[in-house]
Chains A and B, each alone.
Chain A
Amino acid sequence: MSMIVSERQHWVVRAALYVALLIVALIALVPLYWLFTSSITPSGEIFQFQWFPVHLEFNNYPEAWAAGPIARLYINSVLVTVVGAVLQISVAVLSSYAFAYLRFPAKNVVFMAFLGAMMVPGAVVLLPNYLTIATMGWVNTYAGIILPGVGSVFAMFLLRQHMMSLPAEVIEAAKVDGASHLRILWSVVLPMSRPMVVTVVIIALVEKWNDFIWPLVVTFTDQMRTLPVWLLTLKNTEGFTNWGAVMAATAFIVVPPLVVFFFAQRQIIAGLTQGATKG
């Protein structure tokens, strides 16, 4: 921000930029504020339009907590997210390196096929994935939840594009020094690709934490479900819904990523802006 709003700019421009910043902040923060205030409002009053609840109802949180094996659900969500993200990044890094630096027959055709696979809507592969997982006997297991999501063509594509933009001389120099492919990848390419890797990691973590459809389809028992799926169990299609507990449950799901981002923001910003400053 200090790069954009500098002393040399006209004060009108600076004011306009700050107003824009304020608007974006409001758009991002007001829903979160509404979520947290709703979670301490009694169910019947949630639909009354009030900026701060008149009656406070902290009982929503214990009710939401009691509605399911929350500790187990947290463990499931964290495990699925972390392991899934680690596997996804590993696969993406290795495959993008292969597409960027290795030669093999029909490389372009394979790459086009992968890109084509990105166009396939998720709903189409739901049943084939389910059949494969069921045949392996991995229904309602961690393997069943994590494995189908491990291959992300999007992550691989982003990394490959970035790797292809790296200066070829550095790679050549490393090869001349006798480095193997893995060595080049680990010591040369990855450090230079940090912004893109950080981006891909963030996308993977958020996507896997919020993943809903696949865990819903592949899990049957509450013991194996993840937090977003459990949130569904609090909403009835026909009948009584305890909205206060639903809001409290949503808060349970939203808070961990917020906390992680808060504490990791320095690394994230450093990673994203690496090499962005001149000189």
Chain B
Amino acid sequence: MSRLGRREFLAAVGGLTGLVGVASGCGRGAFTQVVGSVPRDYARRIHVVFWHSFADPLKSALQELIDEFNQSQSDIYVEGQFQGSYEQTMQKVAAAIVARQIPDLVIFSEVTWRKMHLADALEPLNDYFGDGLTPDVYIDQFIEEGTVKGTIWWVPFARSTPLFYFNRQLFADAGLPDRAPKSWEEFREWAPALMSVKGKNGSPKALALGGTYASWYFQNNIWVWDANYSEDLDVTIGDEPAIEAARWMVDFVRRDRAAYLSQTPDVDLGQGVAACATLSTGSLANVTEQAKAGGFEVGTGFLLEHEGRFGCPTGGSGLGILRYAPPERKQAAFEFIKFLGQPAKSAQWTMASGYLPIVKAAQQDPSLVKLTRENPNFSTALQQLPKTAPQDLVRPLVSNAGYLLDVGLQKLYSSNLSPEFVFGRLQKQLQSRADLIRKSYAAHYE
């Protein structure tokens, strides 16, 4: 073989690289299903790929439900694949759609599903409901939250709400009644007594404010001060009532020194560093375990009121079917949704996870009733449920709105910035981002 001269060699290599580049650009076309693995016994069934965001131990509980479904019928095989947090799962779905290799059924949080809906990636579900499952079996505010202009896009699954947790031992030591405070004003009256208790780790602060998802918890303050983050897409966080709510909390942090920003409010509560914290209903198991190790009992209560007003947002996640799959896979995915919507199955998931039941009849399920009686903290979330409402739209709809709100609140809790300044800046930032999606919003929501 004759030796290639240097120039010829380089030319050949350059040509090859160009060819590969062109070849990789081709291959656009139909949507295929993302890779998965099907056990041999189930090889003849319709294969549904289900992307979810539940890590262990929830993953095992979910896998139990999936296995029960697979064994209960012989047409469909559901394969559950864990993809990370809610946000990571959504990023993977976005990448999957661009690469045209998609899953069929996906867990979307109350924030990420709306983005998928605006991107026209979800399948409208009205026609799938029928004899096996009708929308009214679901708890009303959950199914309404997934409904836009009469079309259902998002079915509830793992819903949660914030809850007020408190350290019963510290309350008793402070001479306070064995219940959560009813209002923010009452809490402020009780705070000095709490902070004068001599605990194992020194005197506790009254309230640990979480940095992550701070805006979800603060939705309660916003609403009870008769304000909103936004009305539809019109951002109203710069209005006076919202600033009032922030001012009250800022005084609670800076003047009363009763509240503070915490990286891990559940740990602080478990350590006795803070007497109270607002956390998700999903954190009940963790907090109870840490409280036991810390030698005290944890109590729960509704979120706090102000001037007689109550406000509590919903959160957590639900299920959506991607539009691009072939019809038989979409129908198969809905069969699994029907299975999860059975009262016994909803109760089973609730007991294993701490998320709220999603169908009305599940609340009468005997095992769930028994658990509620044994664990009164668990029933608090259930009793608060009828008073909850979906969040103001700017947080789920506008890109990075939740993150910007969280950062703004963290600054308020930990620095000397004024609420007018922070909320005024948030007003501008959020409104400019909201305006970017106005057209899409109008096309979908109005």
Contact = CB atoms under 8 A, between A and B. Distances in A.
A216 B88 contact: yes
A67 B61 CA distance: 12
B40 interface: no
Contacts of B57: 240, 242
B37 A223 contact: yes
Interface string A37-76: 0000011110110000000000000000001000000000
B10 A67 contact: no
Interface in B202-246: none
Nearest to A233: B55
A48 B271 CA distance: 7
Interface of A: 42-45, 47-48, 67, 103-105, 127, 130-132, 134-136, 139-140, 216-217, 220-223, 232-242, 245
Given A139-B34, A216-B84, A223-B37, A45 B95 contact: no
A134 B96 CA distance: 9
Contact of A134 (B58, B99, B270, B316): B99
B287 to A, nearest CB: 10
B55 A234 contact: yes
B267 interface: yes
Contact of B285 (A139, A222, A239): A239
B95 A127 contact: yes
A237 B86 contact: yes
Given A67-B56, A233-B56, A233-B82, A221 B37 contact: yes
B85 interface: yes
A47 B267 contact: yes
Nearest to A135: B27
B316 A217 contact: no
A132 B10 contact: no
A256 B301 CA distance: 47
Given A221-B36, A238-B160, A240-B354, A132 B24 contact: yes
A143 to B, nearest CB: 13
- Which 10 A-B pairs have CB atoms at the shortest separation, nearest pair first? A134-B99, A44-B293, A239-B282, A44-B289, A240-B285, A140-B35, A45-B293, A237-B85, A135-B27, A236-B55
B81 A239 contact: no
Interface of B: 6, 10, 24-27, 34-37, 49, 51, 53-59, 81-86, 88, 92, 95, 98-101, 160, 267, 270-271, 280, 282-283, 285-286, 289-290, 292-294, 315-316, 353-355
A131 B97 CA distance: 10
B81 A221 contact: yes
Given A48-B271, A240-B354, A220 B36 contact: yes
Contacts of A127: 95, 98
Given A221-B37, A239-B353, A48 B294 contact: yes
A260 B160 CA distance: 45
A121 to B, nearest CB: 16
A220 B81 contact: yes
Given A44-B290, A240-B58, 11 more contacts: A44-B270, A44-B292, A47-B290, A48-B294, A131-B98, A135-B99, A232-B55, A233-B59, A234-B56, A240-B286, A240-B353
Contacts of B49: 220
Given A221-B35, A240-B354, A131 B82 contact: no
B241 to A, nearest CB: 29
A238 B316 contact: yes
B277 to A, nearest CB: 14
A141 to B, nearest CB: 8
A236 B99 contact: no
A272 to B, nearest CB: 35
B274 to A, nearest CB: 13
B34 A43 contact: no
Contacts of A105: 10
A199 to B, nearest CB: 29
A120 B160 CA distance: 40
18 contacts: A127-B98, A130-B95, A131-B95, A131-B98, A134-B99, A135-B26, A139-B34, A139-B35, A140-B34, A221-B36, A221-B81, A233-B59, A239-B58, A239-B282, A239-B285, A239-B353, A240-B353, A242-B57
